[in-house]
Structure 1
Amino acid sequence: MEDDDDVPSLSAETFAALQEFYNEQARRQEILNQLESSDKLKENILFDENWQLSQFWYDEATVHSLVKLVDKILPNGGKVALLSCPTLFVPVKRQVGERATVSLLEFDRRFEVHGPDFIFYDYNYPDRLPPNLEQYDLVIADPPFLSEECLTKTAQTIKLLAKDKIVVCTGAIMKAHVEKLLELKLCQFQPRHRNNLANEFSCYANFDLDGVLR
């Protein structure tokens, strides 16, 4: 009989990390099953906000307005890119997914549960996109950080992705930079969040967004 001392054992730290990994895998599979099986998936958040990633989810009224916007201006067979705004993916996909392509470009790999619609995106590498990625009829972006550096790099990605219409939701303090980098105009529509933020947020577009939402 072999000595039990020869049997390898996991340290407490390694075991805890392994258990966390399996729990996260199970959580992802559960969400994926819901996405595949439910025709009435609620327009809510599938994951908790990760403040370390500067994640702040839109409230329901904002989601509703932006989904309405996408639905009204996206042509049949069109394409919309959601850049760093994962809150919108599920409701937009449900609304237009049968007639258009919806892509989520996002750093948080928890959203890989959305399968091929998910594209890993790190704003620090603005041109690191899948090869042969076609341009989009509409790009909606919400840069994760209120800094000129983040907006500048995100703007580079937007220019690579956008074929026509652009919407950027970001802090009001970024107005001058948005106008300079992307030539977008301030809209009356204001995005709001589930958890009230100290920073005032604004919406910018290169078309009459407010007119579409009326």
Structure 2
Amino acid sequence: MDDDDDDVPQLSSHTLAALQEFYLEQQQREGMKTSQGFNQYSVGSIEEDWQLSQFWYSDETASCLANEAIVAAGKGGRIACVSAPSVYQKLKEQDGADFSVYILEYDRRFSVYGEEFIFYDYNNPLNLPEHLLPHSFDIVVADPPYLSEECLQKTAETINYLTKGKILLCTGAIMEEQAAKHLGVKICKFIPKHSRNLANEFRCYVNYASGLD
């Protein structure tokens, strides 16, 4: 036994210390992810995927839009987040919330949210499950993935189908005319920010008296 032990390679004290430091830093990083819930470039544990045209809002913007949706929906209200996972995540963080919320999203990674996740492809705007009844949401928060009239027009079909009336849209400033045309919304004073700086200026649009002006 002693002879076998002598043959086992031994790590130097310096190497052992380096390994311990590495594992400690790894544990601390994992602990930060767990305690914070998400960092500035993720929603929950889901990172942005630029190939899917995903750009998460800053923490402040997501909180502001979530609070606006709660107020607009009212007590016991229903909120739909269409391609707006940052807002959805903030709504889920609300303690003792008196509202229900669904996320309509193309990215199937969001299926971790269970029954609240609805697979959504804007190319098939009305291909929705039967339990999503027409005009059954007090407010729809939407952020079409592309700055094109085609994408906005198709997403607008979904929004108009779901909402009882209130719409909170986030898209590029260049889409102002098309947003008014397809959804009857007007630009707000509030300027949304993203975790990463985007080349295009984004704005919020509503069709009701909101707290964003």
How far apart, CA to CA, are the structure 2 residues paired with 1:71 and 1:151?
24
What amino acid maps onto 1:179 in structure 2? A
Look up the SS of the partner of 2:153 in the other structure.
helix
Mapped pair 1:125 → 2:124? yes
- 1:43–1:90 CA contact under 8 A, matched in 2: no
Shift of the 71–108 alpha-carbon distance from structure 1 to 2, 3 Å rule, reads same
Q: CA deviation at 1:61?
A: 1.3
- 1:68–1:213 CA contact under 8 A, matched in 2: no
- The residue number in structure 1 matching 2:152 is 151
- The residue number in structure 2 matching 1:108 is 107
Shift of the 199–64 alpha-carbon distance from structure 1 to 2, 3 Å rule, reads same
- 2:83–2:145 CA contact under 8 A, matched in 1: yes
What amino acid maps onto 1:146 in structure 2? L
How far apart, CA to CA, are the structure 2 residues paired with 1:183 and 1:141?
14
How far apart, CA to CA, are the structure 1 residues paired with 2:93 and 2:118?
18
- 2:82–2:104 CA contact under 8 A, matched in 1: yes
Look up the SS of the partner of 1:166 in the other structure.
strand
Question: Percent identity at matched positions?
Answer: 48
- The residue number in structure 2 matching 1:14 is none
Correspondence list, 1:8-19, <5 A: none
Write the deviation string for residues 134-182 of structure 1: whole angstroms up to 9, x where unpaired: 3200100000000111001000000100102101100011111001111
Mapped pair 1:69 → 2:74? no
How far apart, CA to CA, are the structure 2 residues paired with 1:97 and 1:90?
15
How far apart, CA to CA, are the structure 2 residues paired with 1:93 and 1:47?
15
How far apart, CA to CA, are the structure 1 residues paired with 2:123 and 2:170?
19
Backbone CA RMSD of aligned residues: 2.0
Shift of the 203–83 alpha-carbon distance from structure 1 to 2, 3 Å rule, reads same
What amino acid maps onto 1:169 in structure 2? C
Shift of the 213–95 alpha-carbon distance from structure 1 to 2, 3 Å rule, reads farther
- What's the TM-score, normalizing by structure 2? 0.77
Write the deviation string for residues 18-56 of structure 1: whole angstroms up to 9, x where unpaired: xxxxxxxxxxxxxxxx7xxx8x74575221111111000
Mapped pair 1:179 → 2:180? yes
Correspondence list, 1:50-61, <5 A: 50-61=49-60
How far apart, CA to CA, are the structure 1 residues paired with 2:168 and 2:84?
11
Give aligned pairs, total: 176
Query: Which blocks of at least 5 consecutive residues in structure 1 are unaligned?
Result: 1-33
How far apart, CA to CA, are the structure 1 residues paired with 2:96 and 2:89?
9
